[in-house]
Structure 1
Amino acid sequence: MDLLALTDFNLVARHGGFGKAARATGRPKATLSRRVAELETSLGLRLLERGARTLKLTEEGRALHERTGALLSEIEEAATDIAAGATTPRGRLRISAPLLFSQTAMGKLAAEFALKYPQIRLEVTTEDRPVDMVEEGYDLVIRVNPDPDATLVGRIFVRDRLVVVAAPQMPRPASDDEPVPAVVRGANGDETLWQVSVAGDSARIAVQPVLQLSSLLMVRDAARAGAGIATLPVSLVNHDLAAGTLAHWGDIEGSEIALWTLYPSRRLLSNRVSAFLDFIKQAFPHGTPDELAAYSTR
């Protein structure tokens, strides 16, 4: 296979057309078109559907781009670094992170990382949905309790747990069957019973949801204001528990939360990703909720 033709095909696929690729790279449009046509002929496959105004990857073209685009980028980066004699991480680093972690810790982390690695252009997108790292062009994702994925590798960098909290003035129920007003997040609005551990003993708390909110920060604020009890990550309420603005009613049983850093396993790990992995390990050396709380917005 002609690697130059493969490189030109990936340029066209990445930029979404021959004209855009030519303008972005300074390469002649006719040369790019000829190289891609030669690649299609050598493979015996149509890689692009050419319309009057649009260009679209075929299924085979998309598969080839996903499998080879990242590898060619890594080769180009390695060649650039070697030619410049540089070992300093540089270039764009795209990260997808969950909403709560982004709201409470990612701003400070991103700022400190940018100061330490000024030649890396860090881009962080906040979203809780599973993303397709290859299709959407992410270098690394941060996820909470992710489903197993054979195409990704990663590591846990923080462990957390859910606790039941309430405003100090909220009275505790006289019995397990007496319902307590509760502030819940989203899909948890139908729950009526929480199984908790209190000083090592198992107990139940009957709940009656009175507020259903979409953000854990809103849930915390509503619980702090006395609207009801709530289940929240201990890292998020660590400061409130220490200050006495929230009271601890117990731990939700079986509620371990693990935050992972994930990246594609089928490509060489770039020095940018390695730098971020080392940085986040240094930020959370023991991976405890207290360390995460230290980064959280007070």
Structure 2
Amino acid sequence: MDNDLDLTALRVFHSVVRAGSFSAAARDLGAPRSTVAKRVADLEATLGVRLVERTTRSMRVTTEGEVLASRAERLLAEASDIRRRLSDAGQAPRGHLRIGVPELFEQITMGRLAPWFRRKYPEITLELVTSRHPGDLIEAELDAIIAFGPLPESNLVARRLVRGSMTTVAAPDLPGLSELRHPRDLLRMPLIDVPQNWIRQWAFVRGDEEEVLRIDPVLTFGSMLTARDAAVEGGGVAKIPTILARPEIAAGRLTEVLPEWRGPAKDLFVVFPSARSVTTRLRAFLDVLQESVDNAPASGERI
């Protein structure tokens, strides 16, 4: 068996001891409890000692666990400092980056951004992994994750890239559009939905007003890109991210429906383990990503 100390597992163990339970550590790390438990078990197997005695109701750190916990913070800080110093040693950022991204964001943004990033930093290789949850930072051993908010509470560091919103759209010649005055009028229209957690409702806000509709869509998809295309083809009214709607509206293939009523904002964040974990190559990627978001063509300040 490989007896090298797994720093990711050590970081998880340290969080468990600090938080006082596996469940609390999972919340702090933004990871599934099963992942936290497995990392600690793997560390115990590597070291050949029991670090934590656990029952269904309680947890107790063993003597061996207390010895390791007392050294863990310094070990982790030193490892982070070594990694950062090695990363900063070259004249230009270099090395491999592994970034988690939501599937939709990857499809509409990263195909253009990644080559731009590589042209600017040719000594960095970039690997994108589809990810939906900040907890994947631990499970997939990622440098950072791009995630839509709201984010769960944790000890991870999150930087907001941009505020987002949803735009309601339809093909310009869809019958009945001229009669729409209020979100409730949409219930008379054919609706295209991409349900979140299979909740069949649309929320709208206008100033201090809020309207939540329980909808009965005629078309239901698992992809916002598919919903956009169906709306372009006249399939009905869709509610899609503004970043997807903009090009089609500009080209005249879609029109905005009830523009004064907006879907609740959904911010986009980049999440990483800690401020100390930001290497020069990750910092370079974050700078290019922020520049790309800031310079995206906009109608207003939404993405």
Alignment match, 1:28: none
Q: Amino acid of the residue matched to residue 9 of structure 1? A: L
Contact preservation (8 Å) 1:160, 1:288: no
SS at match of 2:118: helix
From 280, 283, 292, the counterpart of 2:292: 283
Provide the C-alpha distance between the structure 2 equivalents of 1:144 and 1:193, rounded to a whole number of angstroms: 18
Cα shift at 1:148: 4.0
Q: Which amino acid in structure 2 is aligned with residue 164 of structure 1?
A: T
Counterpart CA distance in 2 for 1:106 and 1:291 is: 22
Match in the other structure for 2:200: 191
Give the deviation of 1:165 after TM superposition: 0.5
Q: 1:272 aligns with which of 281, 299, 303?
A: 281
Instruction: Determine if the alignment matches structure 1 residue 247 to structure 2 residue 255.
Output: yes
Within the candidate set 45, 49, 71, 2:45 is matched to 49
Match of 2:112 among 108, 113, 136: 108
The letter for the 2-side match of 1:272 is: R
Alignment root-mean-square deviation, CA? 4.1
Contact map agreement 1:157 1:281 (CA 8 A) in 2: yes
Gaps of 5+ in 2: 11-41, 53-64
Aligned counterpart, 1:232: 240
Residue type at the aligned position of 2:252: G
Task: Work out whether residues 167 and 246 of structure 1, in 8 Å CA contact, stay in contact via their aligned partners in 2.
Answer: yes
Alpha-carbon distance in 2 for matches of 1:78, 1:239: 43
Once residues 5 and 201 of structure 2 are traced to their aligned partners in structure 1, the CA distance between those partners, rounded to angstroms, is 57
Is 1:222 matched up with 2:230?
A: yes
Who is 1:88 aligned against? 92
Paired residue total: 250
Q: Structure 1 regions of 5+ residues with no counterpart?
A: 1-6, 15-45
Look up the match of 2:19: none
In the TM superposition, what are the counterparts of 1:41-190 in structure 2 within 5 Å? 48-49=44-45, 68=75, 71-72=78-79, 74-76=81-83, 78-79=85-86, 82=89, 86-172=90-176, 174=179, 176=184, 179-187=188-196
Report the Cα distance in structure 1 between the residues aligned to 2:200 and 2:98, rounded to whole angstroms. 37
SS at the partner of 2:172?
coil
Residue pair 2:103, 2:130 contacting (<8 A) in 1 also: yes
Q: Which has the larger radius of gyration?
A: 1
Counterpart contact for 1:160–1:289, Cα < 8 Å: no
Matched, 1:9 2:5: yes
2:218 alignment partner in structure 1: 210
What is the TM-score of this pair, normalised by structure 1?
A: 0.68
Distance 1:193 1:120, change over 3 A: closer
